[in-house]
Structure 1
Amino acid sequence: MKTSKITSIFILFLLIGNSAFSQYRVIITSDFPSFPVTNSDPDDVQSMVRFLLYSNDFDVEGLVNSAGTFDMVAEKKNILAALDKYDEVDENLRKHDPRYPTADYLRSITYEGLGKNHGLDIKWGCDKQSWSDIIGEGKDSEASNAIIAAADKEDKRPLYVCVWGGPREIAQAIWKVEHTRSKTGSDLFISKLRIFLIACQDATHTWLMKNYPKLFIIESKKTYYGMFGVGSVSWAEENVINNHGSLGAIYPPKAIAGHGVIEGDSPSFLYLVSANKGLNNPEDPTQPSWGGQYIRVDGTNHYVDGLGETTISKWSNDFQADFQKRANWMLP
């Protein structure tokens, strides 16, 4: 009887071990556009649809509209519009997993960064201006303050920050902490962060890489290309866009880099999705994962390209099948 009870407990642990016991704390920062997309890259909308379908597997601490791509504006109304679409399917999603957050909760943790619409002249790309032009005294935002508040929580789990646009908001948070706390307090704050940078989209990217060797950073300048073309337009239309509710309907059939599934930002959280499945340890990005495999820079806590985009694309059958399954959960 005792053995049977232990066995039952063990089976229960296996069934829920990747849920309540191992939820990763996540903040998404995205140059998320209005849709239909006219002022940015549609890939952020693609990635957001996928992310929301995995939001049950995370403790989502924030959705940040940051500046990026063409207009370099930051408007949280764009993410809120996407959450209105999520609100129309989330009850169906909770039939499959009650952990899916409500739209109201996600709205409550949606924050706006700074961009040209706030009078901050941010230039797209690395080394196009001085980092001090866009972070520093008087440049806090509700987004950068929210990142600080999340990291300051009494929670031993690290905070994963997935950066889809420019990293200005996480950089401003770090700058403020460094200038308002002791070195011990600043080091403690930095030790809690796990940052995944997609491409190189504003001047603070280089600032973070050069000045914070102890900061955990995955820098994906090219590896993320492995997401390009993992699904055709017809695949996206059949499995996500058409007849999959209002959230699926906003999934764009093309992005700047091409037609079909071009989710350049998705590796930033897919490596956590595969970790939830027991395939990798997110604390060691040198391991294979759905988000790619990276090389550690000697003497730092930075992980960079090196093994190539195939470290993502080789998993495409697995993560696309999983995406398809979850997209079907949006149906009544």
Structure 2
Amino acid sequence: MKTRRLFLLLTTLTITLGSIAQDKFDESPKDFQKFRVIMTTDFPPIGVVKGGDNVPANRKSDPDDMQSMVRFLLYANEFDIEGLVATAGTFAMTAEKKNILSVIDQYEKVYENLKTYDTGYPTPDYLRSVTYEGKANNHGLNVKWGYNKQPYTDIIGEGLDSEASNAIIAAADKPDPRPLWIGVWGGPREVAQAIWDVKNTRSEEELKIFISRLRIFLIAYQDATHGWLMEHFPDLFIIESRKTYQGMFGGNDPISDLAWINKNIRSNHGALCDIYPHEGMGCTGVCEGDSPAFLYLISANRGINNAENPTQPSWGGQYVRRENTNHYIDSLGGSSISRWRKDFQKEFMERADWCIEPNVKNP
């Protein structure tokens, strides 16, 4: 009985001290959890390449997004996926969810094998139900790619909401204590529009609550709303990977080059891996510049980092906090990702095998 009382006392003390530490800043890795996520991507059609004089613009926009989506879907069992969002980016500046839906069709062909390893893999129909389209140049907007190319007011504002921006609001408003992680692989217009709508329709206190529920991971600087988010919302949790993401580029590494992905991913690994492009915008081979937006969370579930503290090492990179903000910016650069290449490539190879080899121990 004394032993039990002592155990209960120590447990209570541990919980109390843990709460105090969390209030200040929790430096310890978290236990495994399913992060709530939305991934937004300037997503190309299957068969995308990075160049060619006679290739339509939409066929040479960001093949690395296709690469990242293949890897992300192989990890879909580790997330509560609230949305897959097509946004504007690179050459075509169009947002077409049909491109994401076509990849889900390929996922469906390997789903039966994947779920023998974990029944937590979402069904293809569920993924289709949370796939949304943002607004871009194919919707009458004139979205320009890159830094300082136009005022943000050109592309967000009254009447410019989309099914994607509305889905972001709805997900953040859910009565779920977990934050909503949004990986921004292309332009952040949809995230910015969601925040603009809340800012202009709710009280300041309600805006603060909404902002507190978001965790944004920005890859590069891809449209004018990027600067608006960074400049106007110092309390918004943002990881800004301007260059760190380039640590994913592995074209010259024997465990990421073209020969490696041809052998371990692209050839004889099922319908989903079949569509993994042989190149990205940065190199030939693994060029998944957008993957840090979710690898960051995967390494948190490996006990490597606390997702609430981007200053710690992680598969998605290591960042430094910008003074007087809740923003985290480049620090050690690409090496803070490439140092983990052996680990995340090993898992990638294993999961690619799952697509063709059902788990006989758990049929």
Distance (Å, rounded) in 2 between the aligned partners of 1:45 and 1:69: 14
Q: CA–CA distance in 2 between the matches of 1:111 and 1:39? A: 22
> Which residue does 2:135 correspond to in 1?
114
1:23 corresponds to 2:44: no
Other-structure match for 1:280 = 305
Per-residue deviation, 1:242:
0.5
Write out aligned runs for 1:117-128 (5 A): 117-128=138-149
Q: Which runs of structure 2 are paired with 1:288-299 in the superposition (5 Å)?
A: 288-299=313-324
What do residues 92-122 of structure 1 show as CA deviations (whole Å, max 9, x unaligned)? 0001111000100000000000010000000
Q: How does 1:192-231 map to 2 (within 5 A)?
A: 192-229=213-250, 231=256
Q: Which amino acid aligns with 2:39?
A: I
Distance apart, 1:201 and its partner CA: 0.2
Deviation at 1:307, TM superposition (A): 1.2
Deviation at residue 265 of structure 1 after TM alignment:
0.2
1:62-112 deviation per Cα after TM superposition (whole angstroms, max 9, x unaligned):
000001111100000000000000000011000111100010000000000
In the TM superposition, residue 255 of structure 1 has moved relative to its aligned partner by 1.1
Residue 279 of structure 1, CA deviation: 0.8
Could you tell me which residue of structure 2 aligns to residue 13 of structure 1? none
In terms of Rg, which structure is larger? 2
Q: Equivalents in 1 of 2:301, 2:124: separation in Å?
A: 23
Aligned-partner SS, 1:281:
coil
**1:39 to partner: Cα distance:** 3.4
The alignment partner of 2:61 has SS state of coil
Structure 1: distance between partners of 2:303 and 2:118: 19
1:257 maps to what in 2?
Answer: 282
Counterpart of 2:109 (choices 88, 94, 97) is 88
TM-score between the two structures when normalised by the length of structure 1 = 0.94
Question: Does residue 317 in structure 1 map to residue 342 in structure 2?
Answer: yes
1:330 paired with 2:351, answer no
1:248 partnered with 2:269: no
Give the SS at the match of 1:292: coil
Tell me the TM-score normalized by structure 2: 0.86
In 2, the alpha carbon distance for the partners of 1:131 and 1:43 equals 26
Q: Which runs of 4+ in 1 moved over 6 A?
A: none
Q: How does 1:53-202 map to 2 (within 5 A)?
A: 53-202=74-223
Give the whole-Å Cα distance in 2 for the aligned partners of 1:84 and 1:252: 17
User: 1:36: which partner in 2?
Assistant: 47
Query: Per-residue CA shift, 1:260-295, capped at 9, x if unaligned?
Result: 000000000001000011110000000000000000
Residue 66 of structure 2 corresponds to residue 45 of structure 1 = yes
Number of aligned pairs?
317
Q: Secondary structure at the match of 1:117?
A: helix
Structure 1: runs of 5+ lacking an equivalent: 7-16
- CA shift at 1:35, angstroms? 1.5
Matched position secondary structure for 2:312:
coil
* RMSD (CA atoms): 1.4
Partners in 1 of 2:31 and 2:352 — Cα distance?
20
Secondary structure of the residue that 2:228 maps to in structure 1? Answer: helix
TM-superposed CA distance for 1:126, in Å, is: 1.4
Give the secondary structure class of the aligned counterpart of 1:255.
coil
Q: CA deviation at 1:18?
A: 5.6
User: Secondary structure of 2:348's partner?
Assistant: helix
CA distance in 2, matches of 1:91, 1:280: 32
- SS of 2:117's partner is coil
- Counterparts of 2:124 and 2:46, CA distance in 1: 18
> CA-to-partner distance for each residue in 1:206-243, whole Å, 9 max, x for gaps?
01000000000000000001000150111111111100
Cα separation, 1, equivalents of 2:107 and 2:224: 33
